[in-house]
Amino acid sequence: MHLSDLWFIAIAVLWTGYFILEGFDFGVGILLPVLGRDDASRRVMINTIGPVWDGNEVWLLTAGGATFAAFPAWYASLFSGFYLALLLILVALIIRGVSFEYRGKRDGLRWKAGWDACIFTGSLVPAILWGVAFANIVRGVPLDAAGNYTGNLFTLLNPYALLGGLTTLALFTAQGARFVELKTLGTLRARARGVALGAGLASVVAGGGFLAATMASYRRGGWSGTGIAAVTLAAGAAVALIAAVGADRRRRGGIAFAASSLGIGSAVAALFSALYPYVLPSTLNDAFSLTTANAASTAKSLMVMTVVALIFLPLVLAYQGWTYWVFRKRVMSPGQGS
């Protein structure tokens, strides 16, 4: 295996971790006006992700940095072609992060309501646009011989990509509801359980349709190698998402959250397996497509990156695991006691 293939797998793992972890805190933000019937319940919901949301975004920063260093041609074509969508995501993430910090600076209800709206919007926009972006990466975009994107924003808003956006929205909303169920008590937990079941059913329908369309139209490996892996992972994702809904019906929140995490992880892995060996296919001419071979950095650069990753990645994972362990208990409002 060439180092470029290894880094393709590493980037896939980073995006998988990001979608699983950031997915649930996007979901919590999206559900803030749905589950949070008053300021106290909204404060509890925010507190469930307060210690971890910024750590979850490290996965995004690392994935972007790894793409820039390992596949500069992919990074250049991707960010130039998707610049408006990615700018919207960046602005939404900035607004969301500022909202978490400023919401508690004053006690006025209008002040908090404004920042709550920003948290909702800052969670909703990325939840949709990440699905749209990844669907276009797998489907392919109009790239010319120089790797330049020749389409426009509306080129990216095709039916397949919009289905991808609806899929990530449903997946993250269900994941967020299950996380709130795991981390709270009382009426808020009961409301989260009900929303988790409905959003879980929506994620099965949207996710099943999206994965079926991907395997039918955009599987690059045929019925050998990565093609078989993609189909197997897609089937596993569907089974995991259905199992999560079954656990919701039995009020087994922990099992539901674990199953949905497995489903999201398998779905992302299926997309990368369907994409390989391409990193950004061209819909104009297959010869213009970017692959793990022609988009990669030099072998020396990849070797240096590998050594650095082997040293620092275990430390980052250990620290984040420790954070989740420290803040593992349920979050309660002051009136619920200790």
159-164, Cβ contacts within 8 angstroms, sequence gap of 24 or more: 160/135, 160/210, 160/213, 160/217, 161/131, 161/132, 161/133, 161/135, 161/136, 162/132, 163/135, 163/206, 163/209, 163/210, 163/213, 164/131, 164/132, 164/134, 164/135, 164/136, 164/210
Matching residue, tokens 């994409």 = 275
Structure confidence at residue 316 as a pLDDT band (50, 70, 90)? confident
pLDDT value of position 290: 93
HSE on the CB side for 252, CA within 13 Å? Answer: 11
For residues 24-35, give the mean pLDDT: 94
pLDDT value of position 158: 93
pLDDT value of position 338: 37
Tell me the per-residue pLDDT of 156-169, one tens digit each, with 9 for 90 and over: 999 999 999 999 99
CB atoms within 10 A of CB 337: 7
Distance CA 69, CA 142 (A): 24
For residues 45-72, give the mean pLDDT: 91
Q: Which H, E and C letters describe 165-218, residue by residue?
A: HHHHHHHHHHHHHHHHHHHCCHHHHHHHHHHHHHHHHHHHHHHHHHHHHHHHHC
Tell me the per-residue pLDDT of 231-289, one tens digit each, with 9 for 90 and over: 899 999 999 999 999 999 999 989 999 999 999 999 999 999 999 989 999 999 989 99
List 280's β-bridge partners, or say none: 290
Distance CA 112, CA 132 (A): 31
> In a 3-state reduction of DSSP, which class is residue 252?
coil
Distance CA 161, CA 85 (A): 12
CB atoms within 10 A of CB 19: 25
Structure confidence at residue 333 as a pLDDT band (50, 70, 90)? low
Q: With beta carbons less than 8 A apart as the criterion, state whether 71 and 296 touch.
A: yes
Structure confidence at residue 317 as a pLDDT band (50, 70, 90)? confident
Average pLDDT of the chain is: 90
List 128's β-bridge partners, or say none: none
List phi, psi (to 5°) of 276: -55, 140
Question: Does residue 226 carry a pLDDT above 90?
Answer: no
Structure confidence at residue 312 as a pLDDT band (50, 70, 90)? confident
Tell me the one-letter amino acid at 111: W
Q: What is the CA radius of gyration of the chain?
A: 20
Tell me the per-residue pLDDT of 195-208, one tens digit each, with 9 for 90 and over: 999 999 999 999 99
